[in-house]
């Protein structure tokens, strides 16, 4: 929570993270008390926003939070992009995607610029990577959280290209651009940390 509070701006995102934390704590308490707990909710997320709006920073905080709450075993963050998931030869992409997903088990897989995975309907390697990723998010849903991040318009196109994404990534979090005052607060924080 200190790390979350230390992030400048992102009020709506912080509120969502606090609500998620409260929900997960309630589920843990119900489980300990022997009460039924709904396990249908997916923790996979879509982050949309411009570059530099805190998407990767927030993914790191969420990964650590999920480890503290014992939702994730290790709580590490594996950050990838299209190049890490898509191979150059037919039949190799699904294998490469699976290896990346398996390296993130117990933690959070952060796919930056996720819209670039499958650029259009002719991109067979990208489509193979996306299909494999969607399937693996379901196969490992109890041991992995996946965050797909990118620009708003491009992420809408990606979700339209693969109907399975919407059901597995039900929550989209919008990262607003920083205001001038928030940018100044970030700059002041950096200046102070660097002893300037």
pLDDT per residue over 2-53, tens digit each? 788 788 888 888 888 889 888 888 888 888 888 888 766 788 999 999 998 9
Instruction: Identify the bridge partners of residue 79 per DSSP, sorted by sequence position.
Output: 110
pTM given for the model? 0.86
> Is residue 63 over pLDDT 70?
yes
Integer angstrom CA distances of residue 145 from 21, 34, 74, 137:
14, 25, 12, 8
Q: Is 69 exposed, middle or buried (0-12, 13-18, 19+ CB in 10 A)?
A: middle
- In tens, the pLDDT along 69-109 reads 888 899 899 999 998 998 877 778 889 999 999 999 999 99
Tokens (6 digits) for 72:
């994730």
Place of tokens 């992009």: 81
* CA separation for the pair 150, 48 (Å, rounded): 5
Three-class SS of 153-176: HHHHHHHHHCHHHHHHCCEEEEEC
Cβ atoms of 115 and 154 closer than 8 Å: yes
């Amino acid at each position: 929570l200190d790390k979350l509070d230390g992030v400048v701006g992102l009020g709506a995102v912080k509120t969502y993270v606090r609500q998620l934390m409260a929900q997960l704590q309630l589920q843990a308490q119900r489980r300990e008390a022997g009460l039924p707990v709904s396990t249908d909710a997916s923790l996979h997320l879509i982050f949309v926003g411009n570059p530099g709006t805190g998407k990767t920073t927030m993914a790191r905080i969420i990964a650590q939070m999920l480890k503290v709450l014992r939702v994730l075993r290790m709580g590490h963050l594996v950050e990838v992009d299209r190049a890490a998931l898509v191979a150059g030869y037919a039949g190799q992409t699904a294998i490469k995607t699976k290896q990346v997903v398996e390296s993130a088990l117990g933690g959070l897989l952060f796919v930056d610029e996720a819209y670039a995975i499958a650029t259009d309907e002719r991109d067979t390697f990208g489509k193979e990577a996306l299909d494999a990723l969607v399937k693996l998010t379901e196969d490992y849903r109890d041991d992995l959280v996946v965050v797909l991040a990118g620009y708003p318009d491009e992420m809408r196109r990606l979700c339209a290209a693969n109907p399975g994404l919407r059901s597995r990534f039900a929550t989209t979090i919008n990262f607003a651009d920083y205001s001038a005052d928030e940018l100044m607060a970030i700059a002041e924080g950096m200046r102070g940390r660097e002893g300037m």
